[in-house]
């Protein structure tokens, strides 16, 4: 499953850059709006896949887990 997510991530970012270029370089019109929407969808898909890959690498031990506040330091319901 991780390989599928990695491939989807690569394709999504490639689509983002391709459609983003078309949206920025094309004349104003219907084609530009479609390119903007497709670029935004590809960027969202790329971000979701990226976050899932980061989580997967932390769980499998390939990457060091992110720094988090230890439980004994957290305050319960207090605000500054």
Q: CA 58: distance to chain centroid?
A: 16
Tell me whether residue 65 is in a domain.
no
Tell me whether residue 36 is in a domain.
yes
Confidence (pLDDT) at 27 = 84
Place of tokens 């497709």: 38
Could you tell me which residue, 59 or 72, shows the higher pLDDT?
59
Q: Per the confidence metrics, is the pTM higher than 0.85? A: no
Tell me whether residue 12 is in a domain.
yes
Q: What is the domain extent for residue 37?
A: 2-60
In this predicted model, what pLDDT tens digit does every residue of 29-41 receive, in sequence order? 888 999 999 999 9
**CA 48 to CA 64: how far, in whole Å?**
20
Tell me whether residue 68 is in a domain.
no
Tell me whether residue 13 is in a domain.
yes
Tell me whether residue 67 is in a domain.
no
Q: How many distinct structural domains can be found in the chain?
A: 1
pLDDT band at 77 (very low <50, low <70, confident <90, very high): low
């Amino acid at each position: 499953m991780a390989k599928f997510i990695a491939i989807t991530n690569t394709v999504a970012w490639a689509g983002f850059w391709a459609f983003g270029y078309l949206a920025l370089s094309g004349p104003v019109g219907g084609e530009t709006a479609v390119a903007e929407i497709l670029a935004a969808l590809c960027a969202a898909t790329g971000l979701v896949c990226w976050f899932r890959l980061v989580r997967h690498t932390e769980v499998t031990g390939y990457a060091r887990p992110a720094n988090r506040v230890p439980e004994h330091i957290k305050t319960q319901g207090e605000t500054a």
